[in-house]
Amino acid sequence: MVSRVIPVEPFELVIFGGTGDLARRKVLPGLFRRFCAGQMPKDARVIGSARTELDRNGFRKMVADSIKEFGGKELASQAELPEFLECLDYVATDARGDKGWAELSAMVRKELVNAFYFSVAPSLFGDIAERLKRHDLADDTSRIVVEKPFGRDLASAEELNATLAKHFKEKQIYRIDHYLGKETVQNLMALRFGNVMFEPLWNGKYIDHIQITVAETVAVGSRGAYYDKSGAMRDMVQNHLMQLLCLIAMEPPAQFAPDAVRDEKLKVIRALQPVQPHEIVRGQYEAKDGQPGYREEAENPRSFTESFIAMKTHISNFRWAGVPFYLRTGKRMATRASEIAVVFKALPHSIFEDNEPDRNVLSIQLQPNEGITMDMTIKEPGPGGMRLVNVPLDMTFAEALGPDAEEVPDAYERLIMDVIRGNQTLFMRGDEVEAAWTWTDPIIEGWTARNDVPKPYEPGSMGPLDAHALMRRDDRNWREVKG
């Protein structure tokens, strides 16, 4: 692999839940990629820790297997694998007991950058935070990384924040939303704030509306009973979709610095209007072709939890007054694709008779492929008069930046390296999370009080028909997102 990156300083990273799904699927293969890229130094160490009894070699074998399973054959065959495995260690700890903590404390080299990844259920955050302090593992320079879900409503999020605040300062807490680690999400900021031509158009005078779609083809599957306690609003909208909305809508920060960026995001969340019942469509996928429906997978025949949601919301400020933001996300949909589309207004007057130009659309694709395109109107080349066509202008610039540019790190990799560098820009601050729940809670309470039943939708579709009606009522349509 090509080394184009500056190594971070040597670190000790302890992953609590180091044998769990997230660690095996994302965190550990991601660290190996950073090792191959030369960003993780050879004298850094990753210590797995979980209840499971394992020794160092057992953990190394588990990590090698995970790299093969989740990173692919190519990654697993990298020559650097044995060296990376040398950087791994393991200590079994019980988050709720004393087992392993003294051993872990003796192992961690405290003079290095210390980070502790809480890849465990949030109910263990307080226990682990308290033990890190009690066993002298963490001090005021240590960092902790916590995963979603960060609460299930405002009260529980406040409680989690208060628990962590007992032991760590806000500048030590890294709340991960991996959507913020995506290359194109950061490119969106570069595009908006690094070019002169977008900012003057970035308002209700020129923008008709904005669509954010996060579509998944997967079902809730074996996680059904767990998912049934949250639903699409809590699982996706409150965090990922709102973070994307913030980056699209925020004012330019005075500088690209963690709190300057997060202050502006917070203002967006606080300016979100309450959503009215007729602006929300919730759905549940049906059974099809022998595949179970949502309620069967949730093991709850009377479940009112949504596996799909579409909604329209507004931001009450000068920039966005009158511009609707349409959000939708769901499981078992037609395609796996995430896209933000900024749909510009129609021309005030077209000089091309019988040949009206299409609207400009800036679309930011987050998955499966990352990229940014701008639909522009040009003249179709060749003779035959003034025929207009709409073509996408590709602004990913992968070619312009050379062959290595395509090798972008996965969101988790980038975020973990940011933790080591001590850069919180792409992490959620406690007040941001609480503001997001403050907006979300009344919406959920509203449909709960109304006993609102989600609409069934066909698996492989783009959600219930009502989701299309939500747009059509406003004389608009959802864009076709490509997987």
Q: Which is nearer to ligand NAD, 175 or 265 (CB)?
A: 175
Residue carrying structure tokens 């990376």: 84
Site for ligand NAD contains 25 (CB under 6 A): yes
131 contacts ligand NAD (rule: CB under 6 A): no
Q: How is residue 384 written in tokens?
A: 């035959």
Distance CA 482, CA 480 (A): 6
Which is closer to ligand NAD, CB of 150 or CB of 478? Answer: 150
**Among residues 19, 39, 161, 303, the one that binds ligand NAD under rule CB under 6 A:** 19
Q: Which residue is nearest to ligand NAD (CB)?
A: 20
Is 51 a residue that touches ligand NAD (CB under 6 A)? yes
Instruction: Work out whether 20 is an interface residue with ligand NAD (CB under 6 A).
Output: yes
Of positions 122, 181, 459, 464, contacts ligand NAD by CB under 6 A: 122
Site of tokens 């207004």 = 345
Is 218 a binding residue for ligand NAD by CB under 6 A? The answer is no
Euclidean distance between CA atoms 431 and 426, whole angstroms: 15
Among 93, 211, 363, 461, the residue binding ligand NAD under the rule CB under 6 A is 93
**Would you tell me the crossing angle of helices 28-36 and 411-421 to the nearest 10 degrees?**
70
Tell the smallest beta-carbon distance from residue 30 to ligand NAD (Å). Answer: 12
If one asks whether residue 94 binds ligand NAD (CB under 6 A), the answer comes out as: yes
**Cα gap 147→419, rounded to integer Å:** 13
Q: Write the interaction track for ligand NAD spanning residues 133-162; mark x where CB under 6 A is met and - where it is not.
A: --------------xxx-------------
Nearer to ligand NAD, 227 or 439 (CB): 227
Shortest separation between residue 23's beta carbon and ligand NAD, angstroms:
6
Scanning 55-63, 120-128, 254-262, 382-390 for contacts with ligand NAD by CB under 6 A, the matching segment is: 120-128
Between 18 and 464, CB nearer to ligand NAD: 18
Determine the Cα–Cα distance for residues 68 and 61; give it in Å rounded to an integer: 11
CA 188 distance to own-chain centroid: 14
Return the range that interacts with ligand NAD (CB under 6 A); candidates 12-20, 230-238, 396-404, 411-419: 12-20
> Minimal distance in Å, beta carbon 129 to ligand NAD?
13
> Do residues 207 and 345 touch, judged by C-beta distance below 8 A?
yes
Q: Establish if 96 lies at the interface with ligand NAD (CB under 6 A).
A: yes
Alpha-carbon span 289 to 257, nearest angstrom: 51
| C-beta closer to ligand NAD: residue 120 or 249 | 120
For ligand NAD, the binding residue among 8, 11, 17, 143 (CB under 6 A) is 17
Residues 421, 26: Cα–Cα separation, whole Å: 19
Residue 255 to residue 274: CA distance in whole angstroms: 30
Please count the residues of this chain forming the interface with ligand NAD, following the rule CB under 6 A. Answer: 22
Smallest distance, ligand NAD to C-beta of residue 293, A: 23
Options 2, 5, 106, 121; binder of ligand NAD; rule CB under 6 A: 121
d(CA 275, CA 238): 13
Place of tokens 């079994």: 92
Q: Which stretch binds ligand NAD (CB under 6 A): 50-58, 296-304, 306-314, 418-426?
A: 50-58
What the block records as the tokens of 454 is 């989600």
Asked if 48 contacts 58 with a C-beta cutoff of 8 angstroms, the reply is: no
Q: Binding residue for ligand NAD (CB under 6 A) from 1, 22, 102, 189?
A: 22
Q: Please report, for the chain, how many H helices and E strands are present, in that order.
A: 17, 15
Residue 202 CA to residue 194 CA, distance in Å, equals 13
Which of residues 159 and 251 has its CB atom nearest to ligand NAD in the complex? 159
Q: How far is the CB of 404 from ligand NAD (least distance, A)?
A: 28
Q: Which of 50, 241, 361, 436 binds ligand NAD (CB under 6 A)?
A: 50
389-428: contacts with ligand NAD (CB under 6 A)? none
Cβ of residue 226: shortest distance to ligand NAD, in angstroms?
Answer: 9
Active-site residues: which are they? Answer: 240
- 3-class SS string, 124-182: HHHHHHHHHHHCCCCCCCCEEEECCCCCCCHHHHHHHHHHHHCCCCHHHEEECCHHHHC
For ligand NAD, the closer CB: 43 or 98: 98
Segment 130-139 long-range contacts (CB within 8 Å, at least 24 positions apart)? 130/166, 130/167, 131/93, 131/95, 131/101, 132/167, 133/167, 134/101, 135/101, 135/102, 135/104, 135/105, 136/105, 137/14, 137/101, 137/104, 137/105, 137/108, 137/110, 138/114, 138/167, 138/168, 139/110, 139/114
121 vs 190 by CB, closer to ligand NAD: 121
Binding interface with ligand NAD (CB under 6 A): 17, 19-23, 25, 50-52, 93-96, 119-122, 124, 147-149
